[in-house]
């Protein structure tokens, strides 16, 4: 494998660690691409390397604008862990938290606040079923979802239930943002999914007028999940239903989980969304209950 672009000191920005700016010097949009917000998710890093190399080799050209590549959590990446002290994707909080990730979040936000960002693309992967999904910071129309994403799942309203993510930071910067779960951490298809969404973003922003990646055959229906609540882990937590998977229907009145202190009963017909059905000791959430609808891709 070629050297990681972020290991070349000559490419790095002087103003923020592990950041590279590719600027056409022509007025246009400013796209920020985050990779490794979670250290054990290399897909965004590989996609950023691939895109940057193609740009400098003139295999691809931007019409205008600039791209800022941020390798978000190098210490976690080096240890191949999700985070070192705190989930960076919950550390973008107004109140500063003095952890490794809290300091990094503060530095990133302070830097970007001066850079007139148009759009944030945050690339992740997941440990379950090779699931691909889109998470957005605003309530996009169905048309816009189809224009900017190729995932079978869209997640809305997550930002009302958690705090401190890159999506929240983007809102404070006044720009649009999407996070893409590109599939399983080890999926051979993940980098292709990441590059496809970079392509769609550049096209949407008017920075490119032709596509350099190909569309994928997808189911005609997209599942849109509106988060009703997070299932929070507490002592003695266990699921009370079998066959746990994303999309599982939980009819009204079903006892679906319990802990020593709480019973979880569906107050209406719900569907599960489970980024990780196997809990980690320091997980806060074990999943989400949602209202799900299907949307035609057209
Ligand atoms: Zn992630």
- Give residue-wise pLDDT tens across range 73-106: 999 999 999 999 999 999 999 888 899 999 999 9
Calculate how far, in angstroms, residue 63's C-alpha sits from the geometric centre of ligand 1: 30
pLDDT for residue 282: 56
Strongest mean pLDDT among 14-28, 142-156, 160-174, 232-246 = 14-28
> Which strands form 238-239's sheet, in the order they lie side by side?
238-239, 255-258, 263-265
The pLDDT of residue 55: 98
Report the separation in Å between the CA atom of 15 and the middle of ligand 1, taken as the mean of its atom positions: 25
| 246 C-alpha to ligand 1 centroid (Å) | 17
What are the CB-based long-range contacts (under 8 Å, 24+) for 80-83?
80/39, 80/40, 81/39, 81/40, 82/38, 82/39, 82/40, 82/41, 83/38, 83/39
Q: How far is the CA of 88 from the centre of ligand 1 (A)?
A: 9
**Centre of ligand 1 from the C-alpha of residue 27, in Å:** 32
Q: Please state, in angstroms and rounded to a whole number, the distance separating the CA atoms of residues 162 and 53.
A: 36
CB 294 within 8 A of CB 224: yes
Cα of 89 vs centre of ligand 1, distance in Å, is 8
The domain made up of 221-296 is a member of CATH 2.40.50: yes
Distance from C-alpha of 119 to C-alpha of 125, rounded to nearest angstrom: 20
Q: Give residue 124 CA to ligand 1 midpoint distance, Å.
A: 4
Q: How far is the CA of 273 from the centre of ligand 1 (A)?
A: 15
Q: How far apart are CA 222 and CA 150, in angstroms?
A: 9
How far apart (Å, rounded) are the C-alpha atoms in residues 194 and 33? Answer: 10
Q: What is the pLDDT of residue 114?
A: 96
More reliable by pLDDT, 160 or 116: 116
For ligand 1, the distance from its centroid to the CA atom of residue 65, given in whole angstroms, is 27
Name the average pLDDT for the chain: 92
Domain boundaries, the chain: 5-204, 221-296
**Ligand 1 mean position, distance from CA 40 (Å):** 8
Beta bridge partners of 134: 154, 180
Ligand 1 centroid, distance to 144 Cα (angstroms): 23
Distance (Å) from CA 158 to ligand 1 centroid: 14
What residues form DSSP beta bridges with 43?
Answer: none
**26 CA from centroid of ligand 1 (Å):** 33
Whole-number Å distance, alpha carbon 163 to ligand 1 midpoint, is 15
Give dist(CA 211, CA 201) in Å, integer.
10
pLDDT in tens, 143-185: 999 999 999 999 988 888 889 999 999 999 999 999 999 998 8
**pLDDT attached to residue 246:** 86
- Determine the distance separating the centroid of ligand 1 and the alpha carbon of 99, expressed in angstroms: 19
* pLDDT-wise least confident of 18-22, 153-157, 231-235: 231-235
Confidence of residue 284 (pLDDT cuts 50, 70, 90): low
Q: How far is the CA of 126 from the centre of ligand 1 (A)?
A: 6
5-204: what fold?
Aminopeptidase (3.40.630)
Q: Please report which confidence band the pLDDT of residue 126 belongs to, taking 50, 70 and 90 as the band edges.
A: confident
Residue 16's pLDDT band, with cuts at 50, 70 and 90, is: very high
Q: What digits encode the pLDDT tens for the residues 256-268?
A: 999 898 899 999 9
């Amino acid at each position: 494998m070629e050297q990681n672009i972020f290991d070349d000191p000559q490419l790095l920005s002087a103003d923020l660690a592990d950041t590279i700016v590719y600027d056409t010097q022509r007025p246009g949009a400013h796209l920020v691409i985050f990779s490794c917000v979670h250290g054990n998710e290399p897909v965004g890093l590989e996609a950023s390397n691939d895109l940057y190399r193609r740009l400098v080799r003139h295999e691809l050209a931007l019409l205008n604008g600039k791209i800022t590549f941020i390798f978000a959590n190098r210490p976690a990446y080096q240890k191949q862990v999700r985070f070192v002290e705190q989930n960076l994707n919950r550390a973008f909080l107004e109140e500063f938290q003095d952890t490794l990730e809290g300091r990094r979040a503060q530095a990133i936000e302070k830097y970007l606040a001066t850079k007139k960002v148009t759009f944030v693309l945050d690339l992740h992967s997941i440990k379950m079923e090779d699931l691909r999904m889109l998470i957005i910071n605003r309530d996009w129309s169905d048309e816009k979802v189809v224009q900017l994403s190729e995932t079978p799942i869209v997640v809305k309203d997550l930002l009302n239930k958690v705090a401190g993510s890159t999506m929240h930071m983007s809102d404070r910067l006044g720009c649009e943002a999407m996070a893409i779960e590109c599939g399983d951490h080890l999926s051979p298809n993940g980098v292709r999914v990441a590059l496809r969404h970079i392509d769609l973003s550049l096209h949407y922003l008017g920075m490119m007028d032709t596509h350099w990646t190909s569309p994928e055959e997808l189911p005609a229906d997209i599942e849109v999940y509106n988060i009703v609540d997070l299932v929070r882990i507490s002592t003695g937590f266990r699921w009370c239903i079998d066959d746990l998977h994303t999309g599982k229907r939980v009819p009204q009145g079903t006892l679906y989980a319990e802990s020593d202190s709480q019973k979880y009963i569906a107050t209406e017909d719900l569907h599960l969304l489970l980024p990780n059905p196997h809990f980690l000791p320091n997980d806060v959430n074990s999943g989400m209950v949602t209202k799900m609808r299907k949307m035609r891709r057209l």
